[in-house]
Structures are given as structure tokens and as C-alpha cells.
Amino acid sequence: MLYKKLSTNTEKALNEQVELEAASSQYYLAMASWADVQGYNGIAQFLFRHSDEERIHMLKLLTFINDRGGFGVVPALKQPPLEFKNIHDIFEQVLKHEILVSTEINKLVDLCLQEKDYTTHTFLQWYVNEQIEEEKMASKILDKLKLIGEDKGGLYIFDRDMGALRTEDQH
């Protein structure tokens, strides 16, 4: 073996992050489905794309674990919520969830520093930067929704614009 294998602690923590990223994908998928049946087609399309992005984050982690001599575990997932109050509530939950993910990524970075695993630390910097963008995206969307308030015309335009918006465009 030419490289240092992941420690047991790091492998376990990375697999927990795999589960969180997979659950994030499912959570956004549930939001997308709800928005779709409520008639918010643009928001649904945005959330479907965001769900796909989270799945890619999960796959990137899983592959890294395997490449570093560990075993990336495909997790069993709990069913996400099926109902949401409204679009404002959805994006408040998105922001809250992204803050949670950021907290967990930061814990992983801290673990890598404690274990002097600089390879994994370097790999995780992409996630640190990605989470800054994810939180910023959710926050900007909430700002727009606050401007719109209860104006149905504004929400109609917002829905249309969200359908055309790529998740990475918001970053």
C-alpha cells in the first residue's frame, strides 16, 4: 500500500457525512415533489436539480472513501417529510438544513486536523467552500421571498425565475 489508509474514526465520520448528503438529496426531492403538485413548477425544477447536486456530493464522498482504502457505505434512509406549509417554509428549512450540513463538515475538518489526515482535510476544503455557497444561495432566496411577501404576482414571477435558475448559478 503506497498511501496512508483512512483511520477508523475518519472513515466512520465520512460515511456519516455520506448519509447526511444522501438524506439531503431525499429531503430536497420531497420538497420538489410537494412544490410540483402545488403548481410551483419552476421551484420544483430548481429543487429537483438541487436534489441531484446533493446526490453528487454524496457520490464524491463515497468514491473518496473507497479511493483512500476505506469502504463507502450506501446508507438506508428515513422517509423525508411529505408536506410543507408553503414556499417560504421550504426555503427556511433549506437554509436551516444547509447550516446543519456546514456544521457537520466543520466537525469533519476538525477531526482530520486532530488525526493529522491532511489528505482528507484538503479534500474537504471543497465541501467547506460549497457550504458557504449553499448557505448564501438559501439566504438570497429567502431575501427575495421576503421582498415578495404575499404578492401572488411576485410569487408567480419568482416561480418562473427559479425554474430557469441553475443551482450553481445562485452561488
133 is in an annotated binding site: no
54 is in an annotated binding site: yes
Nearest to residue 108, comparing CAs of 1, 19, 46, 4?
Answer: 19
131 is in an annotated binding site: yes
Burial environment of residue 75 by CB neighbours within 10 A (0 to 12, 13 to 18, 19 or more): middle
Which pTM was predicted?
0.91
Domains identified in the chain and CATH numbers:
10-71+84-166 (1.20.1260.10)
Write the pLDDT tens digit of every residue in 116-137: 999 999 999 999 999 999 999 9
| Distance from the Cα of residue 45 to its chain's centroid | 16
**Model confidence at 5, in pLDDT bands (50, 70, 90)?**
confident
57 is in an annotated binding site: yes
168 is in an annotated binding site: no
Q: What is the mean pLDDT of residues 65-79?
A: 95
Q: Are 13 and 107 in contact (CB under 8 A)?
A: yes
Residues contacting residue 92 through CB under 8 Å, at least 6 positions apart: 142
